Amino acid sequence: MTSADKKRSAAEASLEFIEPGMILGIGTGSTVNFLIDMLPGIRNRIDRVVSSSKATTALLEERGFAVSTLNEVGDLDLYVDGADEATKRLNLVKGGGGALTREKVLAGAARRFVCIIDDSKLVGMLGKFPLPVEVLPMAQAFVSRRFVKMRANPVWRENFVTDNGNHILDVHDLAISNPLEIEDRLNRIPGILTVGLFAHRPADILLIGNDEGVRELRG
């Protein structure tokens, strides 16, 4: 099975969590795009839909969905999104697509967060995938120096501006042995808008597409 097949299987497995009348949040990325392709088939189950990025909004609108804002709907019943890395404790690294800030807001607003991945994303310890961090452009050099002091290696994602008008640092070589502590520590650095580490708000359910089908882990 290819990675795309596994992503599609995980996306398909998430459909069973979408119940009639739900207010649904939709993440960003190639795994979620498989889900977006399937949503017209269950349109009657979805009351309102909220998007985590301009890219996802465009895809939803192409399929005939009217996208609501989070301000309009209040909390979400369910948020479905992919991840760049996940652990068995359902801690995540996200933001490979640069949508981490809105993704974190939607995950925080959701009663249930279902994360869909292929099995290459399941890791023992987070941090092999460079940690995406959204920073205010004027603070980019300052925040980078802070990472260097931590013996990490921040790399500016060139020619990329987030939907919020900010920059991304992809932080290599950060040892994430204690995700809660690292998330707290990074959140205290001025100029960082969002850290792509989802430890304080991990997934509730992880659906992992693999050669055999889909494995489910719960938090």
Report the nearest approach of ligand 5RP to the CB of residue 55 (Å).
9
Catalytic residue among 12, 61, 62, 103: 103
- In the complex with ligand 5RP, which residue's Cβ is closer, 83 or 152? 83
- In the complex with ligand 5RP, which residue's Cβ is closer, 29 or 154? 29
Report the nearest approach of ligand 5RP to the CB of residue 31 (Å).
3
Alpha-helical regions (H) of the chain: 3-14, 30-38, 54-62, 70-73, 100-109, 140-149, 179-187
The rounded distance, in Å, linking the Cα atoms of 12 and 26 is: 14
* φ, ψ of residue 140 in degrees (nearest 5): -60, -45
Positions that interact with ligand 5RP (CB under 6 A): 27-31, 81-84, 94-100, 103
- Radius of gyration from C-alpha coordinates of the chain: 17
Report the nearest approach of ligand 5RP to the CB of residue 29 (Å).
3
Angle between helices 30-38 and 54-62 (to 10 degrees): 20
- In the complex with ligand 5RP, which residue's Cβ is closer, 28 or 140? 28
What is the spatial order of strands in the sheet that 167-172 belongs to?
A: 153-156, 167-172, 131-135, 192-195
| Catalytic residue status for 12 | no
- In the complex with ligand 5RP, which residue's Cβ is closer, 120 or 178? 120
How do strand 110-118 and strand 76-81 relate by DSSP bridges?
parallel
Residues noted as catalytic: 103
